[in-house]
């Protein structure tokens, strides 16, 4: 960014459905500087070959409808306008979209599960998902991402007045997976939204969860757990835009890294606009570095444009396993390897245990154990 005049909010000032409205990123831009563009296989510059396949398998309780619709469906793109080039590319390239609807006042009796599986990473695939939770409805949606893919998509969550939505998104791609995703939640008055991003597998995964509020009383909790192995790039870019009064947001992302060139990026942007009096926000990112050779970039940004906030804060901390923790556990007879596991498990477990869907929670626990086994060699 140059020294030209800054907009009122310097965070995420641009939105458009047109790819051409965004310059091809060079890697020098603030929003792209941490991302290895060369490993995006052309998703960012229009050179990606189309024809990749990401298949969907859906499972929903009777109260919830899941539809596959064409590009022209009027419900798409109403909550979210792409905010970067890959997102705009995905918007203009998908052929089919998935719409999940939870009707007014319905309480879903079971989670809705959308299983995405990539068939082939050699060509790009694009997707779009819109989840609509109508006023006073309640639902849980689980998204899983597995297999090989070069995939860009946008996910919209429209949470109506007084509605509740809990989302668990698991990115556990094969080693060659590339995934660039935007997840935007638009919250109605008194709506409640809880999101868990669990990011484990893939070569490059860049997820941008964002939240906007339509009316007062909105409450968003955004949690994330990631485990980065050697050579992986796992990036999370959060944006919470407080533009109406008396809303709340909490962000807590935690990751562990091990082995050469494991790279974690966390960007936590929070805007409290002039109108958003009484905002209560806190964001936190913590990283546990388990070996040499890893890299963490953790950048919290808090932009406050009103003096009337209820609470606003952020924290970021990245560090090695604490020698004093290890000593304490070992001094009680626990071996080094087990002590290390207990500490990492505990550190990530505080977020994992918040995942309400038992099967998913257990799967995540198992996946973390598998990561720890890998590190024990």
Q: Is 369 in a helix, a strand, or coil?
A: helix
Among 322, 356, 362, 366, binds another protein (CB under 8 A): 322
Among 68, 96, 346, 374, binds another protein (CB under 8 A): 346
- Min dist CB 353 to another protein, Å, is 9
Question: What is the spatial distance between Cα 30 and Cα 156, in angstroms, rounded to a whole number?
Answer: 24
What is each CA distance from 18 to 35, 211, 279, 340, in whole angstroms? 22, 21, 33, 48
347 is an interface residue for another protein by CB under 8 A: yes
Identify each DSSP E strand in the chain by its residue range.
54-59, 65-69, 97-102, 112-133, 138-159, 164-172, 178-187, 192-201, 204-213, 219-228, 233-242, 248-257, 263-272, 280-289, 295-304, 311-320
Given the complex with another protein, which of 309 and 334 has the nearer CB atom?
A: 334
- Min dist CB 334 to another protein, Å, is 5
Among 7, 292, 333, 377, binds another protein (CB under 8 A): 333
7 is an interface residue for another protein by CB under 8 A: no
**Residue 148 contacts residue 124 (beta carbons within 8 Å):** no
338 is an interface residue for another protein by CB under 8 A: yes
28 is an interface residue for another protein by CB under 8 A: no
Among 19, 348, 357, 368, binds another protein (CB under 8 A): 348
- Span of 6-14, 264-272, 275-283, 347-355 interacting with another protein by CB under 8 A: 347-355
72 is an interface residue for another protein by CB under 8 A: no
What is each CA distance from 212 to 25, 94, 129, 275, 373, in whole angstroms? 25, 24, 17, 13, 39
Tokens of 252: 């807590």
Q: Is beta strand 311-320 parallel, antiparallel or unpaired with respect to 280-289? A: parallel
Tokens of 95: 């052929």
323 is an interface residue for another protein by CB under 8 A: yes
332 is an interface residue for another protein by CB under 8 A: yes
Question: What is the spatial distance between Cα 97 and Cα 69, in angstroms, rounded to a whole number?
Answer: 5
292 is an interface residue for another protein by CB under 8 A: no
Among 1, 3, 74, 331, binds another protein (CB under 8 A): 331
Given the complex with another protein, which of 191 and 344 has the nearer CB atom?
A: 344
What is each CA distance from 358 to 111, 300, 314, 370, in whole angstroms? 11, 31, 30, 18
317 is an interface residue for another protein by CB under 8 A: no
Task: Compute CA 340 distance to the chain's CA centroid, rounded to the nearest angstrom.
Answer: 27
Among 328, 359, 362, 369, binds another protein (CB under 8 A): 328
136 to 195, contacts with another protein by CB under 8 A?
none
- Min dist CB 341 to another protein, Å, is 10
- Min dist CB 332 to another protein, Å, is 4
Question: What is the spatial distance between Cα 79 and Cα 182, in angstroms, rounded to a whole number?
Answer: 12
Among 46, 350, 370, 374, binds another protein (CB under 8 A): 350
Question: What is the spatial distance between Cα 377 and Cα 372, in angstroms, rounded to a whole number?
Answer: 9
- Min dist CB 365 to another protein, Å, is 12
Question: What is the spatial distance between Cα 17 and Cα 31, in angstroms, rounded to a whole number?
Answer: 18
Given the complex with another protein, which of 155 and 257 has the nearer CB atom?
A: 257
Task: Compute CA 321 distance to the chain's CA centroid, rounded to the nearest angstrom.
Answer: 25
Among 54, 99, 240, 339, binds another protein (CB under 8 A): 339
Tokens of 104: 């007014």
- Min dist CB 232 to another protein, Å, is 23
Among 250, 295, 325, 365, binds another protein (CB under 8 A): 325
What residues make contact with another protein under the rule CB under 8 A?
Answer: 322-325, 327-336, 338-339, 342-343, 345-350
């Amino acid at each position: 960014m140059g020294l030209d005049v800054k907009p009122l909010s310097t965070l995420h000032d641009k939105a458009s459905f047109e790819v051409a409205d965004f310059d091809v990123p060079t890697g020098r831009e603030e929003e792209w500087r941490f991302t290895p563009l060369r490993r995006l296989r052309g998703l960012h510059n229009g050179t990606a070959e189309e024809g990749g396949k990401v298949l969907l398998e859906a499972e929903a309780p009777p109260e919830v409808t899941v539809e596959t619709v064409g590009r022209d469906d009027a419900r798409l793109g109403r909550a979210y306008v792409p905010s970067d080039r890959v997102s705009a590319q995905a918007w203009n390239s998908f052929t089919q979209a998935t719409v999940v609807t939870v009707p007014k006042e319905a309480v879903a009796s079971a989670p809705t599960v959308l299983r995405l599986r990539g068939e082939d990473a050699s060509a790009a695939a694009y997707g779009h998902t819109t989840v609509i939770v109508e006023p006073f409805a309640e639902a849980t949606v689980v998204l899983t991402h597995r297999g090989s893919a070069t995939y860009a998509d946008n996910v919209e969550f429209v949470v109506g007045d007084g509605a509740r939505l809990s989302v668990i998104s698991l990115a556990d791609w094969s080693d060659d997976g590339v995934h660039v995703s935007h997840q935007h939640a638009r919250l109605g008055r008194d709506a409640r939204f809880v999101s868990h991003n669990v990011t484990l597998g893939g070569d490059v995964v860049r997820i941008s969860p964002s939240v906007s509020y339509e009316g007062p009383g909105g409450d968003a909790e955004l949690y994330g757990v990631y485990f980065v192995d050697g050579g992986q790039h796992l990036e999370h870019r959060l944006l919470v835009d407080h533009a109406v009064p008396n809303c709340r947001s909490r962000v807590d992302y935690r990751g562990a890294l091990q082995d050469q060139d494991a790279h974690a990026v966390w960007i936590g942007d929070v805007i409290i606009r002039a109108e958003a009096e009484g905002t209560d926000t806190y964001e936190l990112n913590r990283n546990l570095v388990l070996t040499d050779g890893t890299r963490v970039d953790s950048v919290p940004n808090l932009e406050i444009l009103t003096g009337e906030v209820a609470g606003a804060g952020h924290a970021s901390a990245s560090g090695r396993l604490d020698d004093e923790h290890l000593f304490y556990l070992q001094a009680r007879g626990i071996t080094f390897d087990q002590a290390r596991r207990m500490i990492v498990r505990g550190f990530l477990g505080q977020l994992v245990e918040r995942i309400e869907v038992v099967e998913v929670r257990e799967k995540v626990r198992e996946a973390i154990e598998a990561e720890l086994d890998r590190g024990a060699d």
